Amino acid sequence: MVKFSYLQPGKQAVFKDRFVTKVNECLIPYSEGAKGDIGLIGLPFSKTSISLSQASDAPKTIRANLSSFSTFSGEKEKDYKNISIIDFGDVQTHPTDLEESIERLHVSVREMLENNACQRYIMLGGDHGVSFPSIRAFKEHYGEVGVIQWDAHHDVRNLYDGGRTNGTPFRSLIEGGHLKGGNLVQVGIRDYANAKEYHDYTKEKGISVYTMEDIENTGIIPIIKKELERLSELVDVIYLSVDMDVVDQAFAPGCPAIGPGGITSRELLASISAAASHEKVKAMDIVEIDPSKDFRDLTSRLAAASMLRFMYN
């Protein structure tokens, strides 16, 4: 038998520095009885998107971009290579039945939580419609849920013009009794991106809305800290929902609904860090990335960096 000098069958030809641990090396496939620090699940569903979207491809692309980052923080002078990430894989959705797919997402997140394998969790969408079944599962498992939503849009569209879509998750949660309007905070709402009807709906339901003008005048970190303090007195657990179209199109070109005037990538990362430092923050979803529309994985790489800010806090 000939011994190969340079070939490594079944392995990628990737350079390895013995002193560097990449974040993707910390992913551990779930097995029965496994315990870890972070639970990761993919919700690859975008068939209910109101605009053409291949956001269902985002979970695998975001995971791949974890290899772009090391586990060492020079700013904190700390290596997080011992933080274990239990990867529960991706949910197998139904090819044609949309309601069945939504239920499969709900059941899968609920079953992940019932394993009690991790302290905190990250859900990778998919379009923003996946937040509806995911947050429902957290409500059932933990009790009262508070949500901080980074988004250019309210996502409280009516359910008559197309049923449940990526524009309806928070209306679905509120109308279904899974989330109180007063426990929802929306950050980064953009001007000329929503209808007056939905603007009025947020007021009627007591949703706390912070526009881009509010961020410009007050700063995003003070807003996040203020709402964390308020929510922590009302809820059992806080869930972060990050719609990447909150970020300016210059930094996140891979969103189906890109637009100018959003927050910067630095504002996103800093605000996630501020939120993740609170003890009641147990979960984060990242949604609305279409890799087919992206450029050099700019948006998926920003999503991977957002994961780091949530995990390594």
Q: How many domains does the chain have?
A: 1
Q: Give yes or no for a contact between 134 and 123, defined as CB atoms under 8 angstroms apart.
A: yes
Average pLDDT over residues 146-161: 96
pLDDT digits (tens, 9 = 90+) for 57-77: 999 999 999 999 999 999 999
Distance CA 233, CA 45 (A): 34
52 within domain boundaries: yes
Q: Which segments of 93-165 does DSSP mark as H helices, in order? A: 98-114, 131-142
pLDDT digits (tens, 9 = 90+) for 101-127: 999 999 999 999 999 999 999 999 999
Residue 151 counted as an annotated binding residue: yes
Confidence tier at 289 by pLDDT (50, 70, 90)? very high
Token pair of 77 as six digits = 């002078």
pLDDT reported for residue 163: 87
3-state secondary structure of 28: strand
Q: Give yes or no for a contact between 165 and 140, defined as CB atoms under 8 angstroms apart.
A: no
Distance CA 243, CA 152 (A): 8
Q: Which position has the token pair 């990447």?
A: 244
pLDDT over 90 (residue 189):
yes
Residue 245 counted as an annotated binding residue: yes
Cα-based distances in Å from 76 to 224, 285, 306: 21, 25, 17
Beta bridge partners of 242: 150, 286
218 within domain boundaries: yes
Spatial strand order of the sheet with 27-29 comes to 27-29, 85-90, 38-43, 120-125, 281-287, 237-243, 145-150, 184-189, 208-211
Q: Which residues of 129-168 are buried (b: 16+ CB within 10 A; e: fewer)?
A: bbbbbbbbbbbebbeebbbbbbbbbbbbbeeeeeebbbbb
pLDDT reported for residue 2: 83
Name the helix (H) or strand (E) containing 62. Answer: helix 58-65
3-state secondary structure of 87: strand
pLDDT digits (tens, 9 = 90+) for 27-43: 999 999 999 999 999 99
Q: What letter represents residue 203's amino acid?
A: K
Distance CA 43, CA 55 (A): 10
pLDDT reported for residue 1: 79
15 within domain boundaries: no
Residue 128 counted as an annotated binding residue: yes
Confidence tier at 313 by pLDDT (50, 70, 90)? confident
Average pLDDT over residues 152-161: 95
Residue 294 counted as an annotated binding residue: no
CATH code at position 190: 3.40.800.10
Distance CA 106, CA 132 (A): 8
pLDDT over 90 (residue 162):
no
282 within domain boundaries: yes
136 within domain boundaries: yes
pLDDT reported for residue 3: 86
13 within domain boundaries: no
Q: Give yes or no for a contact between 130 and 287, defined as CB atoms under 8 angstroms apart.
A: yes
Cα 228 to chain center, whole Å? 18
Residue 153 counted as an annotated binding residue: yes
Say if strands 85-90 and 38-43 run parallel, antiparallel, or are unpaired: parallel
pLDDT reported for residue 227: 98
- Report the alpha-carbon angle 23-80-223, nearest 5: 90
User: Cα-flanking dihedrals φ and ψ of residue 232, to 5°?
Assistant: -60, -20
pLDDT over 90 (residue 174):
yes
3 within domain boundaries: no
Average pLDDT over residues 207-212: 98
pLDDT over 90 (residue 14):
no
Average pLDDT over residues 262-269: 98
Q: Give yes or no for a contact between 151 and 189, defined as CB atoms under 8 angstroms apart.
A: yes
Confidence tier at 266 by pLDDT (50, 70, 90)? very high
Residue 243 counted as an annotated binding residue: yes
1 within domain boundaries: no
Name the helix (H) or strand (E) containing 218. Answer: helix 212-218
Domain of 136?
23-311
9 vs 223, higher pLDDT: 223
